Amino acid sequence: MNISYQWLSALLGADAGVEAVARLLTNAGLEIEKVREVGANLESVLVAVVESTRPHPTSKNPLTLVTVNLGKDGSLEIVCGAKNVPAPGGRVLFAPVGTTVFTGDPKSPSFTLVEKPVAGIVSKGMLCSEIELDLGSDDSGIIVLDGAESVAAGTRLVDYLPGAHDWILEVNVTPNRPDALGHLGVARDVAALLGIAFGGVKPKAIAARAAKDDERVRVESKTDACDRFDAAVLVGATVRRSPLWLRSRLHRLGLRAINNVVDASNYVMLELGQPNHTYDLDVIAERTVVARNAMEGEVLQTLDEKTRALTAGDVVIADASKPIGLAGVMGGEGSGITDKTTRLLLEAAHFDPSAVRRMAKRHDIHSDASHRFERGVDPACPPLAIARLKELLVELTGATVVDADVSARGPKELAPALEVSVRDARVAAVLGIDVPRAECTRIVASLGFVMGAEDADRFVVRVPSFRPDVTREIDVIEEIGRVFGLDRVPLAVVPSSGARAGAVRDFSQRRRVRDALVALGLDEAVNYAFDADALFESVGLRASARIANPLSGDRAAMRPTLVAGLLKNASLAVRHGETKVRLFEVGTVFAGRRAEDLLANEREATAANEGPLHEETRVAFVLVGPRDSYLGDAGSVDVLDGKGVVEALVEALTRGAVQADRGGEAPPWAHRAAFARLSVAERAIGYVSELHPSMRAPFRLPSSTVVGELSLSALLAAAPALRAVRPSKLPSMRRDVALLVARAHPVATVASLLRQGAGERCASVSLFDRYVGKELPEGTHSVAFSMEFSPVGDKTLTDAEVDGWVKSAVARVVQDLHAVQR
């Protein structure tokens, strides 16, 4: 909502300073997002009187040389390109050299006037259009002041047009404050904050002549959506351009000036917050206006030139034959004001907020009227709006008011004014500060609340009709707080209750895994929880949960995996020339719940701290490119690098041992010759694999792309209880064993047999070398293990016994796997 500071000050009869007012309003909940100074350039602009004109002697363009009288500054001859230069005696606006003038072009919006020849003739200034002075949007010619015959030549514009130098306050009006959608409501807040009296808007009473029969109208509300409908009739109006003060005020507040009737209507809306409408009485069938529900099949062409098919849920304003407006949303074509209109029907009504909101949504219209009615316009305002409109229109159009006012009520009773009881103790308990009773009552009274009964510990107030947001004691306390000054609330420390959270999930587990993966050298990604189906299909997966109203049609799938997003990220990095990628993400994946899933019930699921979708936290990573090495080439990553990440992660988190096999149902992105199902303590935690070759191309990723995806809960579930080891004071002993064995036997099997064969003193068997070469028998490799033996108690191991254990270990592998010791 744009608020003119000059208008506000005029309503208040006080000028407290722009900055002070902006600060007060911001602190009280009407946040001023921006203050825009306008019209500072007008200080030097003068009213000039045309003395004579002559055509430009040489120019081929239709230029006029205008001699104007500037009062004490004498006369000047000015070159002017406009076609509407008035006859001698006409009043125009002169901007001298040095004035800032506007272009209407956003690329170079303004410039400073300098003395410069136009078609060979130098002017000491220019005669200006609305656009050039930023007083309007008309660039068809220069401004010619109407009815300004008595204004002396050389009068400063800011004296002729009080408030021409203004400040526009851009107010962020929250949805609970419909009263602040007009200058009146904002002025009321300012008065309360400044502690000054405020009388509101009081239109002059206009004498009406008796109405003739054909000047009487019939008005009716047949719908609950219209509480009241007030109307009045004016005759003898002349429709024309509004005076400069009105045109410029609307322009600065963001509305386009149209004609004096429509402009007056908009002005009243901006002043009082009451949307209203003016009709040409002569096109209203049977001079009858009814608010009613639309009938199925009716159509209405609205002012935005769109044809609207109406449904039974719509509420229309109709004459005796057809709808002429969408109630509280937008008027219809055909009943509006034209140049020929002389008889005016004024409407100010109150419509139900929900009904207007539904219509505005259904027809996708957001108008100044619907914006206000949706939020709740003061139901008591229509008579005031009618009175104000009459006052303005009589002045602007020369019309006469006839005695034909009508005020209809809807079928639904108007709600009586609410009375709210406020306890002093509650005010203090909520605000944390004692506000004296007298201060409380002063504040609410200044906001328009009517004081009721009072006793020792409470007082009663009647809520004004323009504050639909206030219905309870707590709402009145908020009013007291924001006007008293929330900044006066002291600081207090919460006494810690030591209460534990009840709604818990896996916050600390996610954090531990993130910390561990970062320590392992991976960078963390955060991808959107939704993306295009195509992305997930490119790793062979389909989303089972979808967004009904996605931002764009192709981003509707809730992610069933983290892998696809990471591959997209890796792809981006590779495209940017990165050769090595190490990324991980810890996040939620989603699946639709099966119909028979009891947790799909909202209440039950909420109690279990679950949602409508099945959510699971996953841990995923992608590795691309060369291994970490120093100056040399250590080869590219493969599935064992991925397995190593998981082993290190598990070691860091739980010290569990990771087993790998090729079991279960591998994910579609797995490479069948290079994937592993990983388990800890016999429980599968996820898969790691080189990326399936057919999925590399869409991401433009190299063959050295390894991905892994694990379940966070499975990963952390298998944490064994840890027990400290008492280290032996005696040395352990190592023996190396090299074996030639068929590659068909997994290395883990060989190691396990060695360990079994070596007996209980064998603490570990670890592979430290592997060789594959042509000189070895077909299908074999040479594997070398380091075996560690630990003493027990205080008995030192002897070479002889260790040699004996190694011998039996080797014998076991030779016997079971036909291995050959090397």
Q: How far is the CB of 536 from another protein (least distance, A)?
A: 16
Measured between alpha carbons, how far is 554 from 243 in angstroms, rounded to an integer? 53
Measured between alpha carbons, how far is 424 from 402 in angstroms, rounded to an integer? 52
Q: How far is the CB of 595 from another protein (least distance, A)?
A: 8
Q: How far is the CB of 494 from another protein (least distance, A)?
A: 5
Q: How far is the CB of 764 from another protein (least distance, A)?
A: 24
Measured between alpha carbons, how far is 156 from 162 in angstroms, rounded to an integer? 10
Comparing CB distances to another protein, the nearer of 28 and 145 is: 28
Q: How far is the CB of 769 from another protein (least distance, A)?
A: 22
CA-wise closest residue to 143 among 184, 105, 102, 176: 102
Comparing CB distances to another protein, the nearer of 378 and 610 is: 610
CA-wise closest residue to 151 among 77, 74, 76, 70: 70
Comparing CB distances to another protein, the nearer of 37 and 214 is: 37
Comparing CB distances to another protein, the nearer of 320 and 572 is: 572
Under 8 Å between Cβ of 133 and 38: no
Comparing CB distances to another protein, the nearer of 96 and 612 is: 612
- Residue 400: CB atoms within 10 A of its CB come to 16
List, in sequence order, every residue forming a beta bridge with 36; answer none if it has no partner.
Answer: 168
Q: How far is the CB of 43 from another protein (least distance, A)?
A: 23
Under 8 Å between Cβ of 275 and 356: no
Q: How far is the CB of 170 from another protein (least distance, A)?
A: 14
Angle, CA of 627, 629 and 633, to the nearest 5°: 80
Measured between alpha carbons, how far is 352 from 498 in angstroms, rounded to an integer? 48
Under 8 Å between Cβ of 519 and 547: no
Comparing CB distances to another protein, the nearer of 525 and 819 is: 525
Comparing CB distances to another protein, the nearer of 442 and 807 is: 442
Q: Terminus-to-terminus CA distance in the chain, angstroms?
A: 88
If DSSP codes are grouped into helix, strand and coil, which group holds residue 762?
strand
CA dist 548 → 543, 589, 590, 698 (Å): 13, 18, 15, 27
Q: How far is the CB of 702 from another protein (least distance, A)?
A: 16
Q: How far is the CB of 522 from another protein (least distance, A)?
A: 4
420: which DSSP letter? E
Comparing CB distances to another protein, the nearer of 231 and 623 is: 623
Q: How far is the CB of 364 from another protein (least distance, A)?
A: 13
Q: How far is the CB of 268 from another protein (least distance, A)?
A: 22
Taking the CA atoms of 319, 325, 331 and 334 in sequence, report the sign of the dihedral they define: negative
Q: How far is the CB of 481 from another protein (least distance, A)?
A: 5
Q: How far is the CB of 525 from another protein (least distance, A)?
A: 4
Measured between alpha carbons, how far is 277 from 43 in angstroms, rounded to an integer? 36
549: which DSSP letter? S
List the beta strands (DSSP E) in 29-122.
31-38, 46-55, 64-69, 75-80, 91-96, 100-102, 110-112, 117-118, 121-122
Q: What DSSP assignment string belongs to 222-289? A: -STTEEEEEEEEEES----PPPHHHHHHHHHTT-----HHHHHHHHHHHHHS---EEEEGGGSGGGEE
CA-wise closest residue to 390 among 401, 382, 381: 401
Q: How far is the CB of 535 from another protein (least distance, A)?
A: 13
Under 8 Å between Cβ of 240 and 260: yes
Comparing CB distances to another protein, the nearer of 520 and 820 is: 520
CA dist 162 → 7, 10, 204, 428, 812 (Å): 10, 10, 21, 45, 107
Comparing CB distances to another protein, the nearer of 383 and 592 is: 592
Q: How far is the CB of 755 from another protein (least distance, A)?
A: 30
Q: How far is the CB of 1 from another protein (least distance, A)?
A: 13
Comparing CB distances to another protein, the nearer of 105 and 487 is: 487
Comparing CB distances to another protein, the nearer of 251 and 559 is: 559
If DSSP codes are grouped into helix, strand and coil, which group holds residue 26?
helix
Half-sphere exposure of 677 (CA within 13 A, CB side): 13
Distance of CA 297 to the CA centre of its chain: 36
Instruction: Give the strand pairing for 323-326 and 330-331.
Output: antiparallel
Comparing CB distances to another protein, the nearer of 99 and 223 is: 223
Comparing CB distances to another protein, the nearer of 113 and 710 is: 710
Q: How far is the CB of 441 from another protein (least distance, A)?
A: 18
CA-wise closest residue to 669 among 611, 621, 741, 615: 621
Measured between alpha carbons, how far is 529 from 562 in angstroms, rounded to an integer? 9
CA dist 90 → 53, 136, 156, 291 (Å): 11, 20, 16, 47
CA-wise closest residue to 50 among 84, 80, 90: 90
Measured between alpha carbons, how far is 441 from 454 in angstroms, rounded to an integer? 10
709 in the Ramachandran plot: left (φ > 0), alpha (ψ -120 to 50) or beta? beta
Comparing CB distances to another protein, the nearer of 140 and 606 is: 606
Comparing CB distances to another protein, the nearer of 149 and 578 is: 578
Q: How far is the CB of 624 from another protein (least distance, A)?
A: 10
Comparing CB distances to another protein, the nearer of 312 and 518 is: 518
Comparing CB distances to another protein, the nearer of 496 and 766 is: 496
Residue 7, token pair as written in the block: 């208008």
